[in-house]
Amino acid sequence: MKKYDILGIMTGYARLLDEALSTHFSRYREVLVLLGARQVGKTTIIQKLFPDALYLSVDNESVRANLDRYDSSVYRQLLSDQAKQVIIDELHLLHDPGRAAKIIRDQMPDIQLIITGSSSFSIKNRTSESLAGRKIDYHLYPLAYTEYLVQQGIENTLSYQTMQFLLEKNAVPEERIHAFDQVGILRNILIYGLYPGMMQHPQDGIYLKNLIDSAIFKDILDLSLVESRSAALSLLRLVAYQTGSLVNMTELATRLGLNIKTVKRYLTIFEQSFIIFPLYPYAKSGRDEIGKMPKIYFYDTGIRNALIDNFQVPETRNDMGQLFENFVVSELYKLNTYGNYGISFHYWRTRQGSEIDLVLSRGDTLFGIEIKYQSGKISRAFQDRYPQATCNLLTAKNFY
């Protein structure tokens, strides 16, 4: 028997964004903009939630040529009088995507417009002015852990429990009991990641390495955002080796023979293309707290491993701690975005070496989280410095 969630959608394809996207037009008149890296499932989720919408892909040359005319009479013919909802997939491929969306939004107000874009950099920079006040942005990432469990048929319902345990119960049990092999599933995810395509290509490192060229770098190269693909790739690989460590921009620039402005610009492009995201230090109470250098994490551990060409099993690796930390930070980051928790993410470290992996803050509420694959201790220095903080230890056995 097929199982359905509360929206009547097959749970095998359920995503945490389903409800927010499907109810968008009952709450807003603004254009629905779905952003995310290639191959994270944007087209799948949009076509699933809006099955009766007119679908146009800008990858189609005829569609692209007509939309690139920026003529409302052409648009009316292209969209047809019968269209109530219109999906324009990969809008960022247009010369001026914001202008196209603005014409439809302003001159065909009865149409509910849904647009997707793989390159956050292109969408944000080209639509920020022309669509100002006319759009609501949503972000889709590689699968969250709960989405993976549901899509694999291991669980029936999506859950925010990892975040809720931290924020609502203020305590994480030493170990939670599940009817599935959590540690075994986690080990596979840490190596191969959570891109939806891995469902059809399990434990396929070749698929992931090809994904870097065909998806991750495609928009960056097509839009001529970097001068040197090899330099950009070398930078991303260096960052991959330093996952979860403090990133020194000057050191990266020196090692690659680039100027520091280029390094910062390339990292910004990678961030806005949904490959990496930075965490900046939490510094409130002392002059000895590190206050500038970021840590950088990947949205997906499989992509990180593909960059350094390392798909070895956990027993032979010396970076499982890094991988688990990246997984937990990115997992909480996804849940925070999808659940609209409004949490700020930081790390904490002093110049003397005291540190805690993750600091979550929301208003005056503070949470310190130590992330260890097997076992560890929470920094006493952080607890002494911030006695109002709730501190927890997350491991492979109790994170979910």
CATH value at residue 52: 3.40.50.300
Confidence of residue 325 (pLDDT cuts 50, 70, 90): very high
Quote the percentage of the chain above a pLDDT of 90: 70
Q: Which of 4 and 291 is assigned the larger pLDDT?
A: 291
Three-state DSSP state, 88: strand
pLDDT, residue 173, reads: 60
The answer to the question of residue 1 being in a domain is: no
Based on the domain organization, do 239 and 357 belong to the same domain?
yes
Within 13 Å and on the Cβ side, how many CA atoms surround 198? 26
> pTM of the full predicted structure?
0.92
Based on the domain organization, do 162 and 92 belong to the same domain?
no
Confidence of residue 5 (pLDDT cuts 50, 70, 90): very low
Average pLDDT over residues 3-12: 42
Q: Terminus-to-terminus CA distance in the chain, angstroms?
A: 27
Based on the domain organization, do 253 and 332 belong to the same domain?
yes
What residue numbers bound the domain in which 295 lies?
145-394
The answer to the question of residue 133 being in a domain is: yes
Q: What is the mean pLDDT of the chain?
A: 89
Based on the domain organization, do 219 and 363 belong to the same domain?
yes
Based on the domain organization, do 180 and 46 belong to the same domain?
no
Which of residues 89, 122, 139 is at a domain's end?
139
119 with 268: CB under 8 angstroms? no
Checking if the pLDDT of 2 tops 50, the result is: no
pLDDT digits (tens, 9 = 90+) for 160-179: 988 988 887 556 666 778 89
pLDDT, residue 174, reads: 67
Q: Locate 268 and state its tokens.
A: 């910004």
Confidence of residue 13 (pLDDT cuts 50, 70, 90): confident
pLDDT, residue 164, reads: 86
Q: Locate 197 and state its tokens.
A: 């395509």
Give all strands (DSSP E) within 8-139, no chain letters: 31-35, 54-57, 85-89, 112-117, 135-139
Based on the domain organization, do 262 and 333 belong to the same domain?
yes
The answer to the question of residue 5 being in a domain is: no
Based on the domain organization, do 248 and 383 belong to the same domain?
yes
The answer to the question of residue 6 being in a domain is: no
Q: Which of 292 and 395 is assigned the larger pLDDT?
A: 395
Dihedral Cα 189, 193, 198, 201, nearest 10 deg? -80
pLDDT digits (tens, 9 = 90+) for 260-305: 999 999 999 999 889 999 999 998 876 787 778 899 999 999 999 9
Based on the domain organization, do 111 and 150 belong to the same domain?
no
Number of domains in the chain: 2
The answer to the question of residue 400 being in a domain is: no
Which of residues 81, 108, 139 is at a domain's end?
139
pLDDT, residue 9, reads: 41
Q: Which residues of 13-38 are buried (b: 16+ CB within 10 A; e: fewer)?
A: bbbbbbbbbbebbeeeebbbbbbbbb
The answer to the question of residue 399 being in a domain is: no
Based on the domain organization, do 315 and 377 belong to the same domain?
yes
Confidence of residue 375 (pLDDT cuts 50, 70, 90): confident
Based on the domain organization, do 183 and 157 belong to the same domain?
yes
Checking if the pLDDT of 23 tops 90, the result is: yes
Cα distances (Å, whole numbers) of residue 74 to 66, 159, 282: 7, 45, 52
pLDDT digits (tens, 9 = 90+) for 181-226: 999 999 999 999 999 999 889 899 999 999 988 777 777 777 777 8
Residue keyed to tokens 């199982």 = 3
Which of residues 139, 164, 179 is at a domain's end?
139
pLDDT, residue 169, reads: 56
Confidence of residue 6 (pLDDT cuts 50, 70, 90): very low
Based on the domain organization, do 180 and 316 belong to the same domain?
yes
Based on the domain organization, do 116 and 165 belong to the same domain?
no
Quote the percentage of the chain above a pLDDT of 70: 92
